[in-house]
Amino acid sequence: MRLESLPDHAASVTRISWGWKALVLSLCCVGDLVALQVIWTRTDIAEGQFRRGYFEEIDGEAGLAIDTAVRPDTLPRYLLTEDGSLEIPSGMTAVISLEAGQRFEIESDSRRAPYVVIGMEAPVAPAASDLSIQPGEARLRDARTLALQDGRLAFVAWNATQPWRDDFARLDAVQQNCAPEGGPVAISITSGSLHVSVGRCSLIETVAPALLAVAAGPEWAMISRTPEWKSERTIQWPMFGLIALKEVAIWIGFGLVSAGAVATALAGAALWAPVEAALSWAAVLIIAVAATILRTMTFALWKLPRWARLPAVLTIAGSVAWLVAPGTKQFPQRILRTHQYNGQPDLCGVVGYSTVKGEGLRQERGSIRHLLDEKCPRCRGKTAALFASGETLSWVRNAYCLSDPSFGEGGQVTFLGEANDDFLSGLSSPRAALPMARAFVQPGITPWRDNHDSAASASLGRIDDQVSAIEDLIGCVHFRGAQFLFLHDFMASDMQVDRQPNRAAMLARRRAAVESTGGTFIDLREEFGGEAGISWFNDAVHLSSIGHRRVAELACEKRL
């Protein structure tokens, strides 16, 4: 070989080498797509086939408002199962516009008849005076529900405020009389009529109503439809960036062979345990990025003069310690007022989670903080709130104690919540993290129930931390000369059965902590269990405006 040809040969070898590296990295990315099969794509029910129902006070009585927000951020949410059924989680309501040629089969997650309501569509007022009507918003009027009347199946006038025990008896009577061995409510629509059958019972409505509402209540409900529900498959594009980051990080930190071996192992594991493989992938990403940063920092340190290396190491170590240390990154949270602030103390302070924010309400209006400011004489123009979704008592304590001293000063601080702490306080525990991940990436009735049990068990293991947070919070409240009211919430499923033992044990410890430090504790299920019904919830955990109104009335009455 002539010497002049050596540079060309070296360049060719380099091109081949980089070509192989690019091929290996590409195959690694394909392996990651297999490992993340339960995350990077998602199948949802296509929008426009039904709307979401919200229980509200309409024309002086409880009714059902409607909008198009069928993909809420909260979990669980409306799901489309592999067999094509629409699953409605407890507390949620689906409202369907009826058309000739449709057929529905509706079941509840029990041996009782599902909660079915029919009616006509009518205009609805805005959720608040400063808001406007959004496309698709409406309300249900002339509503009727299934019941036995003189031993026959019939649609009767609907009373949405009935306690759950009364609705329970009505639905159980329908099922036992018409289909004691079980079976769905079948509804078919022809031109001008509606045909309903439950086992051996049936009825025909000669003038077909325009809307069908299916309320899950404390259970789940399932709806299959002919023609079938349409679905949409969405791609989570940010995952592709994370996949590229992971492969490059492993390459830099551990080498290309390691990148290929890890991707192959995770892809293989995903064939048998997809959720576990996805969690392992996330752990590998964190380790790979950390290793890459460490290697880069080490290289950079060696480039520094000797005298500068030790100060640089100490600075980096201090920064890392600050980032990972618990409780060091709390900053004052923004206090949200429902009135024009005039510099006076907020005598009615409300703290909590997404329920206090107003999630689950139409346009997020009508929550306890709005109602206290608008309806409670001693709170009018003096109400403010601190809230954050997905947080726990540790956040509440830190947020309140670091807030402006005028928040609640000389008045009353009301906390509304605790379902969060039942399921999120122990989330760092492996026995809670895996079921939570499974409920998130493979949602449905069974994963959600499994998550309830494991999460509550893990949270009970952290009850001492919860008690400590409560005691510190009340200490801050009393330091400001305020009184404390703890409103322990409940879930839609709690209307049907008692809280599971782990959740009941946590409630007892929280009650003791509040009362021993001079606060007032009220279990809302104990207080309102006799009257709470289908209209109290808009999803599994968030109160409807009906529920918010009753809780706000209680908080206003409890001037401590």
**Span of 38-42, 114-118, 133-137, 498-502 with lowest mean pLDDT:** 38-42
Q: How far apart are the C-alpha atoms of 73 and 88, rounded to whole Å? A: 15
Q: Is the pLDDT of residue 382 over 80?
A: yes
Pick the closest to residue 94 from 156, 48, 152 (CA basis): 48
Say how far apart CA 308 and CA 302 lie, in whole Å: 10
Count of C-beta atoms within a 10 Å radius of residue 435? 22
Question: In the predicted model, what is the mean pLDDT of the chain?
Answer: 88
The H-or-E segment that residue 536 falls in is: none
Average pLDDT of 443-460? Answer: 81
For residue 10, pLDDT over 60 is answered with no
Alpha helices in 402-500 (DSSP H): 419-424, 430-441, 445-460, 463-479
For 511, the enclosing helix (H) or strand (E) is helix 501-516
> What is the three-class DSSP state of 132?
coil
Distance in angstroms between the alpha carbons of the first and the last residue of the chain? 97
Which pLDDT score, from 0 to 100, does residue 442 have? Answer: 64
**Nearest CA to 64 among 73, 52, 76?**
52
Q: What is the pLDDT of residue 451?
A: 76
At 190-218, the pLDDT tens digits run 988 999 999 999 999 887 789 999 999 99
Contact at 8 Å (CB) between 407 and 384?
Answer: yes
Q: Is the peptide bond before 443 cis (omega within 30 degrees of 0)?
A: no
E-strand ranges in 36-75 read 41-45, 51-58, 61-67
With cut-offs at 50, 70 and 90, classify the pLDDT of residue 274. confident
Q: How many helices (H) and strands (E) does the chain have?
A: 16, 22
Fold for 44-232, please state it.
Jelly Rolls (2.60.120)
DSSP-derived pairing of the beta strands 407-417 and 346-352: parallel
- Check whether 7 has a pLDDT greater than 70: no
Burial bucket for residue 71 (CB in 10 Å: 0-12, 13-18, 19+) = exposed
The long-range contacts involving 68-73, CB below 8 angstroms and separated by at least 24 positions, are 68/134, 68/135, 68/136, 68/137, 70/45, 70/94, 71/44, 71/47, 72/359, 72/360, 72/539, 73/359, 73/389
Decide if pLDDT at 319 tops 80. Answer: no
pLDDT at site 3:
44
Cis peptide before 209 (omega within 30 of 0): no
Given a cut of 80, whether residue 441 has pLDDT beyond it is no
* Whether residue 2 has pLDDT greater than 50: no
* 347 three-class SS: strand
Per-residue confidence band for 340, with pLDDT thresholds at 50, 70 and 90 = low
Query: 273: Cβ–Cβ under 8 A, 6 or more apart, which residues?
Result: none
The count of other CB atoms within 10 Å of the CB of residue 99 is 10
pLDDT band at 313 (very low <50, low <70, confident <90, very high): confident
Residue 558 has pLDDT above 90, yes or no: no
- Name the residue ranges covered by the structural domains of the chain: 3-35+237-310, 44-232, 336-425+462-557
Nearest to 424 by CA among 439, 414, 436: 436
Q: 44-232 and 336-425+462-557: same fold?
A: no
Neighbours of 490 (CB within 10 A): 26
Q: CA–CA separation, 413 vs 348, rounded Å?
A: 6
Q: Is the separation of the CB atoms in 138 and 121 below 8 Å? A: yes
Helix (H, G, I), strand (E, B) or coil at 57: strand
Q: How far apart are CA 217 and CA 224, in angstroms?
A: 18
Nearest to 556 by CA among 361, 345, 375: 375
C-alpha separations of 559 from 57, 192, 347, 485, 516 in Å: 26, 56, 11, 9, 19
Q: Could you confirm whether domain 336-425+462-557 is CATH 3.40.50.1110?
A: yes
Please, are residues 68 and 79 in contact by the beta-carbon 8 Å criterion? no
Q: Is 340 exposed, middle or buried (0-12, 13-18, 19+ CB in 10 A)?
A: exposed
Rounded to whole angstroms, the Cα distance separating 419 from 424 reads 9
Q: What is the largest CA-CA distance in the chain?
A: 106
Q: Are 535 and 542 in contact (CB under 8 A)?
A: no
What's the one-letter identity of residue 64?
L
